Amino acid sequence: MKLAKLLGCLLALGALTARAQSPVAAPAAPPAPTATLLRPAAVFDGQDLHPGWAVLVADGKIVAAGPAAQLGAPARARVLELPGLTLLPGLIEGHSHLLLHPYNETPWDDQVLKEPLALRVARATVHAQRTLLAGFTTARDLGTEGAGYADVGLKRAIDEGIIPGPRLLVATRALVATGSYGPRLAAVDDLPQGAQEADGVDGIIKAVREQIGGGADVVKVYADYRWGPGGTAAPTFSQEELTLIVQTARSTGRGVVAHASTAEGMRRAVLAGVETIEHGDAGTPEVFRLMKQRGVALCPTVAATDAISQYRGWKRGQGPAPERVLAKHRAVAAAVQAGVALAIGGDVGVFPHGDNARELELLVNDYGLAPQQVLRAATAGNAQIFHLADRGRIAPGLLADLVAVAGDPTRQVEALRQVRLVMKGGVLYQQP
């Protein structure tokens, strides 16, 4: 009897101990926000500035935008108060080279010939992050300059979330006429080139198809280059070859962009049907009128001209500007006079990645464009020229690629340097 009583007590104590030691259910984690409501001082929607607006984001897209008083936050939404900030569409970089770094650090020839591919790619991952954090959520990367198809892998790494960076449109190797590009070293055969050489009907068709098959979103061609007498710029491909490049690319739904700085190279490229002319330094009023008629945009890359001139000893504000800078001023003025659409892109890589706003600043401060004009061009304008209907504006249904800056960039373009928030696809990469 005593044994039975003792066993009963032990069993009761065991049950109590078991209940005491049983895991206590952890409190449920708070549900993830289903949406984000951004409440800045003002919203630039890609066209106009709207003080007092707010923007609602969910599932990677913009759900609504309008007066903050009329835009409530749904249940479990995250609310981001952004006092003193202007919210705008993520900026679009129109001309970059993520596989290059500034020429005053390492000359272009040495980058192409001496830097290992792995080194160039590793550096490019940092360039991609700097570009994104500078507020540029999309970039058109126009050639790997000897790094093959590395831009395709870089784009994939960004898309898969392995590294942070902008959404990329890549041109892979780019096309040049045999003998026209670089690097060049006397008495060295089969020297690695900064782009793919191609000539004639069969060679051109094959090269265009190879680049598209390798992952090119756009095809870039050098319509002229510095291979004329004394190293002057001169046309490369014939009119027939340029036209064939465009036709071959178009048959797969790709557009063609042309490096062109001479009037004749520009004219041939425009007649061939390219979508943008890059640089355009020696463009004439006649060529720009032709561009306007054919709907071809100019990406003037004034920041690259400025940077290279400074690398060669020019000091801004001291003495007369170099002829190349004066020529760029004449070209931009003639293009604007003709009504040619401007794509905004600085040829970043010639100067540091992350310094992308330099192009917009120069166009305003040195070339006389209005801040709101270049801001429209770098958002909605670039999106239209590059056929990106899902971004470049703040409107329901578009990608939630958004940037907030301190101040009002429609009045002071320098405000673009004061990036406080970066969102891409609804994901925050930087916030106050």
Structure confidence at residue 32 (pLDDT): 56
Q: Which CATH number fits domain 36-89+415-430: 2.30.40.10, 3.30.70.100, 3.40.50.2300, 1.10.3720.10?
A: 2.30.40.10
What pLDDT, on a 0 to 100 scale, did the predictor assign at position 102?
98
Any residues with CB less than 8 A from the CB of 41 and at least 6 apart, and which? 51, 52, 82, 83, 84, 85, 86
Would you state the pLDDT for residue 3?
35
Residue type, 193: Q
Question: What is the per-residue DSSP string for 167-193?
Answer: EEEE-TT-EE-TTSSS---TT-TT---
- Please write the tens of the pLDDT for every residue from 250-287: 999 999 999 999 999 999 999 999 999 999 999 999 99
On the question of pLDDT at 293 being above 60, the answer is yes
Give the whole-angstrom CA distance, residue 421 versus residue 132: 11
Look-up of token digits 């903050």 = 68
Domain residue extents for the chain = 36-89+415-430, 91-356
pLDDT at 186 over 70: no
Q: Supply the pLDDT for residue 53.
A: 98
pLDDT tens by residue, 318-341: 889 999 999 999 999 999 999 999
pLDDT score recorded for residue 166: 98
Quickly state the pLDDT bin for 14 (edges 50, 70, 90).
Answer: very low
Contact (CB, 8 A) for 34 and 24: no
> Residues with Cβ < 8 Å from 427, sequence gap 6 or more?
60
Per residue in 278-287, pLDDT tens? Answer: 999 999 999 9
Q: Is the pLDDT of residue 33 over 90?
A: no
* Signed CA dihedral, 149, 301, 390, 269: sign only: negative
Fold of 91-356: TIM Barrel (3.20.20)
Residue 27 pLDDT > 50: no
Please name the amino acid found at residue 279: H
What's the confidence (pLDDT) of residue 72?
Answer: 86
Average pLDDT over residues 85-113: 98
- How do residues 375-390 score in pLDDT, each as one tens digit? 999 999 999 999 999 9
Confidence check: pLDDT of 204 > 50: yes
The pLDDT confidence band at residue 350, using thresholds 50, 70 and 90, is very high
| Distance from C-alpha of 212 to C-alpha of 142, rounded to nearest angstrom | 14
pLDDT score recorded for residue 16: 38
- Give me the residues paired with residue 44 across strands: 49
Confidence of residue 187 (pLDDT cuts 50, 70, 90): low
- Residue whose C-alpha is closest to residue 88's, from 362, 375, 371, 360: 375
E strand or H helix at 2, and its extent? helix 2-21
Q: What is the four-CA torsion angle of 199, 117, 182, 170, rounded to 10 degrees?
A: 60
**pLDDT confidence of residue 4:** 41
Cβ atoms of 381 and 341 within 8 Å: the answer is yes
Contact partners, residue 58, CB within 8 Å, separation at least 6 = 34, 35, 36, 426
Q: What is the pLDDT of residue 34?
A: 81
At residue 184, the pLDDT reads 83
User: Measuring CA to CA, which residue among 338, 410, 402, 335 is closest to residue 372?
Assistant: 410
pLDDT tens by residue, 44-87:
999 999 999 999 999 999 999 999 999 988 988 999 999 999 99
Check if the beta carbon of residue 413 is closer than 8 Å to that of residue 364: yes
Quick: pLDDT tens for 17-26.
Answer: 433 344 444 4
Instruction: Select from 198, 277, 292 the least CA-distant residue to 244.
Output: 198
Nearest to 45 by CA among 65, 68, 18, 15: 65
Ramachandran bin of 426, using left for φ above 0, alpha for ψ from -120 to 50, beta for the remaining angles: left
Tokens standing for 324? 């190349």
pLDDT of the residue at 385:
98
Q: What is the pLDDT of residues 390-410, one digit of tens each?
A: 999 999 999 999 999 999 999
Which amino acid does the sequence have at 101? H
Give the amino acid at 265: G
First vs last C-alpha separation in the chain: 74
Of 311 and 231, the structure prediction assigns the larger pLDDT to 311
Mean pLDDT calculated for residue range 144-151:
98
Please check whether residue 420 is in contact with residue 133, taking contact to mean a CB–CB distance below 8 angstroms: no
pTM of the model: 0.92
Per-residue pLDDT, averaged over 219-229, amounts to 96
